Amino acid sequence: MFHVNYLGTKCSKIILVERFETRLRELRIGANMTRAELSEKLNVSVRLISYWENGKRECSFDMLIAIANIFDTTVDYLIGRTEY
């Protein structure tokens, strides 16, 4: 579940975590990037990247946008709303 602020109200967005973890891993490996390299770009720990890829933790909405920017994709793709 992602928590976002929308018009001053905290909202919860439920996403398909299974798709996110799979797509994050596939994008990272497809870019020949290690978890360490991705963690450096996002300024988070390698362990946190591992947690995301294994579905043990969820990232913040802001981090989701940063990941989409790094891999030049959309947030919709990362969360499984689109296939491209």
Looking up residue 62, the CATH number of its domain turns out to be 1.10.260.40
Whole-model pTM: value is: 0.78
Distance CA 25, CA 8 (A): 33
Does 83 fall in a domain? no
What integer pLDDT is reported at residue 17 of this predicted model?
58
- Indicate if the pLDDT at residue 6 is higher than 50: no
Does 20 fall in a domain? yes
Does 84 fall in a domain? no
Does 16 fall in a domain? yes
* Residues written for the chain: 84
Backbone angle region of 80, left / alpha / beta, with phi > 0 → left and psi within -120 to 50 → alpha: left
- How confident is the model over 11-51, as pLDDT tens digits? 555 445 578 999 999 999 999 999 999 999 999 999 999 99
- Indicate if the pLDDT at residue 77 is higher than 70: yes
Count up the domains in the chain and report the number: 1
Structural domain including 61 reads 2-78
Residue 65 vs residues 42, 59, 72, 79: alpha-carbon distances, Å: 11, 10, 10, 11
What integer pLDDT is reported at residue 31 of this predicted model?
97
Does 13 fall in a domain? yes
